[in-house]
Structure 1
Amino acid sequence: MDYGWILLTDEEEKELWSKFNKVFHPRPSKSIFPSYIPTPFIQYDISNCYTEEFIQDFEDKAASAFQNCTTPGEHIYALDWQHDCYLVDARKEFPRHVPWRVDNGEWIISIYPDGDYHFFLASDFSWGILGHPWENTITIYGDKLLSCFSKTQPMMLHKVIKRIEDS
């Protein structure tokens, strides 16, 4: 079965991180948190949400949102800071048991930032999910993706830290 996760080459990954850095200006830190979020966005506290139930619910609803926000053949990026990154066909199945991760049954890159920054982004960066591991936050940005999540609110995303609307 084709799961739609395509490993980026080293050169593709280098170009993608370069673009990401120009757009978001991240400053990875354990004490100084970056402010690199386009508007509109909603930032959530996920510090008490690290359970299988919360993560699976968020994965299921994120997969549905990604499918609703893309057209057939359109890809999104799945980035894991300091690790492999992928181009993902959001219209294909997002299984919990992909062949190369059967050992733990998670997505290739978890929707939950489990020790590293995890980002899921539209190919043009117009919307996305930004996971911050030390801040224990998930930020959803872009009208299109926010609209999709407003219809099916994941259990994990219940404590809003900050909300900024377009001006």
Structure 2
Amino acid sequence: MMGDPVVALPEAEYRRVWDRFYKHFSFQPSMSPLKWPAIEEPVASVTWSLAALDSDPDDERLDRLVAVVEQGLSSCAGPSGTLFALDWQHTSYRFAPQEVGGPGQLAWPLSPYPDGDYFIFLAEDFRFGSFGHPWEESLCLFGEELLNVAATEVDKVLGPPIRRSGKVVGPA
């Protein structure tokens, strides 16, 4: 277990984790729609458009989305697990999700909502996580375990997904 619930990744580890992320997900950051979704979305993944949040003046749906994703990530990490919180080209973190976000605790580092940059949450073994794409305005959740605990609630907040397992979902 970590001493502090949130720790900035030291430079060498930051590079190792990001290099591994680039390779594992074939990450190709781009603002161009021709190059989206920016990662090779895993077989066990679901991606939603964040457009439903555009008409959310009081941020109620956004708050619900953040809560659902954070609860799902926490649940999957388990009582003593840690996660990476990656902010593209900025400070990234290792943190204990069970020890943040509650009364009297530090806030989560970053948000599942990609506010201006790629925000990524990952299990240390990369088996589950989230990928927020700021320019596509999308959120991808991956890993069977995370999808099992969060996808139904995310559907309720954002509507039907735009992709499953990296493949475009047709109209319902």
Q: Same fold (TM over 0.5)?
A: yes
Pairwise CA distance, 1:154: 6.3
Identity %: 28
Matched, 1:148 2:152: no
- Looking at structure 2, the residues matched to 96 and 156 of structure 1 have their Cα atoms a distance apart, in angstroms, of 24
Aligned partners of 1:123 and 1:10: how far apart in 2? 17
Matched, 1:44 2:48: yes
Q: Which consecutive residues of structure 2, in runs of 5 or more, have no partner in the other structure?
A: 167-172
State the 1:3 CA deviation: 7.3
SS at match of 1:94: coil
DSSP-derived class of the 1:16 partner: helix
User: Secondary structure in 2 aligned to 1:114?
Assistant: coil
| Distance verdict in 2 for CA 1:30–1:155, change over 3 Å | same
Q: CA RMSD in A?
A: 2.4
Contact 1:3 1:94 survives alignment (8 Å): no
Q: 2:92 aligns with which of 74, 85, 88?
A: 85
Bigger helix share: 2
Match of 1:103 in 2: none
Go from structure 1 to structure 2 and tell me whether the alpha carbon gap of 1:18 and 1:128 turns closer, same or farther (over 3 Å shift): same
Indicate conservation of the 8 Å contact 2:73/2:129, yes or no.
Answer: no
Secondary structure of residue in 1 paired with 2:126: coil
Q: In the aligned structure 2, how far is the partner of 1:26 from the partner of 1:152?
A: 27
Q: Cα deviations across residues 66-99 of structure 1 (Å, max 9, x unaligned)?
A: 2211222210111010111011112223249976
8 Å Cα contact 2:9-2:93 kept in structure 1 = yes
CA distance in 2, matches of 1:43, 1:150: 10
The number of residue pairs the alignment matches comes to 158
Contact 2:83 2:94 in 1 (8 A): yes
